[in-house]
């Protein structure tokens, strides 16, 4: 992410936005959310487009200034943020990687001679698993190289690129393109999806996972819903608005599910912490056991995630 100038929460530093899917400026307010995982008590407005129904942030922090909100960001701190429980957190993350590998394999064989592109790969443990298990060519991109720069020896065989996606030297076509909780961060999601279309052919399957604004957790938690992730998220998609974004970019949606690879308890727990609100600047070690207790208690509900829309969704599209 780009660095930011001082004072991004100042109203004068914000910018009005049009709908990120259809471009309309006719919208109505739907939620007022505080800046999440952030110390200062800043508040932002979410709007619903009257034309296509997309829920999006406006006014928002300009892209050139959003970097400040990623300083000390919990996902970037990784398992180490959980102190002595870091090893168990890594095990949980490895399980998520395996679920994602199973998801792309469910769309057809993945192996040598094929190529997988993970957009917004962060710490590219998912790609490493794909490379090790399938032998496919694995390519990852992100805004910067913070996810892999510190330990390059951990990522043998991966092609990793940092910078603006549209400017990177990516050699397609790719058999699988994945965006795991990336689309909701983008300032021009339709433009990015159009560019990805140029890296695809008839064999390509695009897999996108994002929070579900139509899910039960958002309906119950309202302004505190962690899927808003204000102001890092620019849009909060329903299955309908996600389909519209893909179709406007030239993709053909072949499947949609209101579930994903993440445990919906995580989304609920994060929202409850924002209700506090929690101070995210310190260690989360003391929160680990209560977090696990809640995860265990809600396991029966999590098993219903494929039938009850709890908070995540997935779309699969063809070129």
- Average pLDDT score over the chain: 93
Burial letters 146-159, b for 16+ CB under 10 A, else e: ebbeeeeeebeebb
pLDDT at 8: 43
Residue 112 to residues 36, 133, 168: CA-CA distances in angstroms?
Answer: 42, 10, 23
What confidence category does residue 164 fall into, taking pLDDT thresholds of 50, 70 and 90? very high
CA distance 281 to 294: 22
Q: Which domain holds residue 194?
A: 74-318
Residue 136 within a domain:
yes
- Higher pLDDT pick, 306 / 225: 225
Residue 130 within a domain:
yes
Does 232 have pLDDT greater than 90? yes
Strand, coil or helix: 109: coil
CA distance 306 to 212: 13
Residue 62 within a domain:
no
**Number of folded domains that form the chain:** 1
Residue 53 within a domain:
no
What confidence category does residue 276 fall into, taking pLDDT thresholds of 50, 70 and 90? confident
Instruction: Find how far residue 317's CA is from the centre of its chain.
Output: 17
Of the candidates 311, 314, 288, the residue with the CA atom closest to the CA atom of residue 226: 311
Residue 36 within a domain:
no
Domain with residue 163: its CATH number is 3.40.50.150
Angle between helices 125-134 and 86-105 (to 10 degrees): 50
> What tens digit of pLDDT does each residue of 38-57 get?
988 899 999 999 999 999 99
> What tens digit of pLDDT does each residue of 109-140 get?
999 999 999 999 999 999 999 999 999 999 99
Residue 214 within a domain:
yes
Residue 43 within a domain:
no
Residue 6 within a domain:
no
């Amino acid at each position: 992410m780009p660095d930011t100038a001082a004072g991004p929460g100042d109203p004068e530093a914000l910018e009005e936005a049009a709908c990120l899917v259809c471009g309309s400026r006719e919208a109505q307010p739907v939620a007022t959310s505080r800046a999440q995982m952030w110390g200062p008590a800043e508040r932002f407005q979410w709007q619903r487009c009257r034309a296509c129904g997309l829920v999006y942030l406006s006014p928002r922090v300009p892209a050139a200034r959003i970097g400040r909100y990623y300083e000390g960001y919990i996902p970037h701190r990784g398992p180490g943020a959980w102190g002595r429980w870091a090893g168990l957190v890594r095990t949980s993350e490895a399980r998520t990687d395996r679920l994602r590998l199973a998801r792309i394999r469910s769309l057809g064989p993945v192996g040598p001679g094929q190529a997988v592109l993970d957009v917004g790969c962060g710490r590219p443990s998912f790609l490493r698993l794909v490379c090790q298990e399938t032998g496919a060519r694995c390519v990852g991109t992100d805004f910067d190289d913070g996810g892999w720069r510190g330990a390059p020896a951990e990522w043998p065989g991966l092609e990793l690129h940092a910078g603006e996606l549209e400017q990177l030297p990516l050699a397609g076509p790719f058999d699988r393109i994945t965006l795991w909780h990336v689309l909701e961060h983008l300032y021009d999601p339709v433009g990015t999806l159009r560019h990805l279309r140029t890296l695809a052919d008839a064999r390509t399957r695009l897999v996108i996972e994002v929070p579900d604004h139509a899910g039960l957790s958002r309906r119950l938690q309202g302004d505190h819903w962690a899927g808003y992730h204000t102001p890092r998220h620019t849009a909060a998609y329903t299955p309908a608005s996600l389909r519209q974004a893909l179709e406007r970019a030239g993709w053909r949606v072949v499947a949609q599910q209101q579930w994903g690879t993440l445990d919906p308890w995580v989304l609920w727990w994060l929202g409850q912490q924002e209700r506090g609100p929690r101070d995210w600047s310190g260690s989360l070690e003391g929160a680990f056991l209560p977090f696990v207790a809640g995860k265990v208690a809600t396991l029966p509900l999590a098993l219903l995630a494929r039938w009850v829309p709890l908070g995540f969704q997935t779309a699969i599209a063809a070129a």
